[in-house]
Amino acid sequence: MREIVVTGGGTGIGYAVAAAFVAQGDRVTIAGRREHVLKEAADRLDPGRTGLVAAVAFNAANPVAVGEALDRLPSRVDVLVNNAGGNTDLDRPADDGDLMDVAEGWWANLNANLMSAVLVTSALIPRLADDGRIVTIGSIAARGTGSGSYGAAKAAVEAWTADLAAELGPRGVTANVVSPGLVVDTEFFRGRLTEEGVRRRVENTRNGRAGTPEDVAETVRFLASPQARHLTGQVVHVNGGAYLGR
């Protein structure tokens, strides 16, 4: 049975990713900071309590917390999905140019999106099975404008993944980024996504709709499959063609 670890697996895209693996009989460990959210998600993912789903609460952006969580994570990992993240600017007042505020805003996004993936991956590389899979969730923001430190952090995820693919390639391990456009039905926008905001983003797509967590999850599932063994170091854009519309 394959062992899957999904950070941020309690909500949104991460939850859908976890559900896709559970549906095919894999064992899934979901991680996040809020224990109650993870427990509720694990109950929904595994209503029969078959033991296929485990919940481990820790802050993926904190090196001490990641180190302490290792005892509760699987001793062999076949697939790591670095999904934890989000635009931390949505949780902060706009900075007023004070350099300390500027720095803290940038650190927050770099920590949430880049360091969380780097730390969890570094901690789990010794446990990664040969022919294992690493999939990190990027964002269309990495290639666009207007997202400030969030876009920069997601762009850094792409550069880091290229290195990771080279480092782990000799072991048959692949490392890729799945880069979504707008995905609704997640906590990402903190309930502040307006109809106008959706319309503007959907207008850029070629298929005229917003993405769903399942759209992203199915791509992750393919990249994690044995059939995707020759696909590494890539950024796979899941955005209805919106990237073309920049």
Ligand X SMILES: NC(=O)c1ccc[n+]([C@@H]2O[C@H](COP(=O)([O-])OP(=O)(O)OC[C@H]3O[C@@H](n4cnc5c(N)ncnc54)[C@H](OP(=O)(O)O)[C@@H]3O)[C@@H](O)[C@H]2O)c1
Known catalytic residues? 150
The yes or no reply on residue 14 touching ligand X (CB under 6 A) is yes
CA-based R_g, the chain, Å? 17
Q: How far is CA 24 from CA 1, 36, 83, 217, in A?
A: 10, 25, 19, 13
Q: Which is nearer to ligand X, 101 or 187 (CB)?
A: 187
CA distance 182 to 11: 16
Q: How far is the CB of 20 from ligand X (least distance, A)?
A: 14
What residues have CB less than 8 Å from 179, skipping those under 6 apart?
137, 138, 139, 140, 142, 143, 154, 158, 235, 236, 237, 238, 239
For residue 104, the surrounding DSSP H or E stretch is helix 99-109
Q: Which is nearer to ligand X, 19 or 172 (CB)?
A: 19
CA distance 220 to 137: 9
CA distance 168 to 132: 9
CA 239 to chain centre: 15
- Binding segment for ligand X (CB under 6 A), chosen from 7-15, 47-55, 95-103, 124-132, is 7-15
Q: How far is the CB of 25 from ligand X (least distance, A)?
A: 23
The mark string for 205-244 relative to ligand X (x by CB under 6 A, - otherwise) is ----------------------------------------
The yes or no reply on residue 186 touching ligand X (CB under 6 A) is yes
Q: Which is nearer to ligand X, 14 or 105 (CB)?
A: 14
Q: Which is nearer to ligand X, 169 or 197 (CB)?
A: 197
Site residues (CB under 6 A) for ligand X, limited to 56-85: 59-61, 83-85
DSSP letter for 10, please: T
The yes or no reply on residue 32 touching ligand X (CB under 6 A) is yes
Site residues (CB under 6 A) for ligand X, limited to 82-101: 83-86
Using CB under 6 A, list all residues that contact ligand X. Answer: 7-8, 10-14, 31-34, 37, 59-61, 83-86, 112, 116, 137, 139, 180, 182-183, 186-188
